[in-house]
Amino acid sequence: MRINGNTYSAEVTSDSQLKTYAVSIPAIQAASMKGKAFAWNAVSADVAALATALAVRNDSTTESLVIDKIYVYSDVATAVDVHLITASYTSAGTAVTGVCLNKETPTVASATAHANETGNTQGNIIITLHTPELTTSAEALAYDFNGAVILGQGQAIGIDIVADSAAFECTIVGYYI
């Protein structure tokens, strides 16, 4: 067969069908190879009940931010509300920098993120998770959105801890498309 003037050989079945092979990689890996995958991590010593432990807003004017996974730990048994922030807000709290997952091609996330975020109003809850905390268990929650949450310009996701927590950790992993 000829492609762009070059001649290549290919396997063909007895029915004259071309045999092809494909290599498939997860979307987050493809984005990471371009320096477009990030993790935002918040650790707070004391998060008040119903507080937004971590909020991430997409500030890109050209790309959507796809939320792939979240990880949450709390030192108390609690519900954890993951919500899409529906009203514009001035983000406040402890600034969190998105860490590029590709250290060979490090880029800066076009996002605003804050831990113990106080500027937003809880939006549409998309999932409520419950921690497995019983007493001193160190189990964390992990939830895989499989890229289903897509944030356009100015749109944000927040993770609220319902109970008063003395120790909390939260990570949001996402990538730009």
Domain boundaries, the chain: 27-176
pLDDT at residue number 48: 78
**81: CB partners within 8 A, 6+ apart:** 122, 125, 127, 128, 159, 160, 162
Quickly state the pLDDT bin for 135 (edges 50, 70, 90): low
Between CA 72 and CA 161, with CA 65 as vertex, the angle to 5 degrees is 25
Sheet containing strand 94-95, strands side by side: 94-95, 111-117, 51-58, 156-161, 79-85, 124-130
Q: Which residue has the higher pLDDT, 116 or 31?
A: 31
Gyration radius of the chain over CA positions: 21
Is 27-176 CATH 2.60.120?
Answer: yes
Do the beta carbons of residue 133 and residue 77 sit within 8 Å?
Answer: yes
Q: Supply the pTM of this predicted model.
A: 0.84
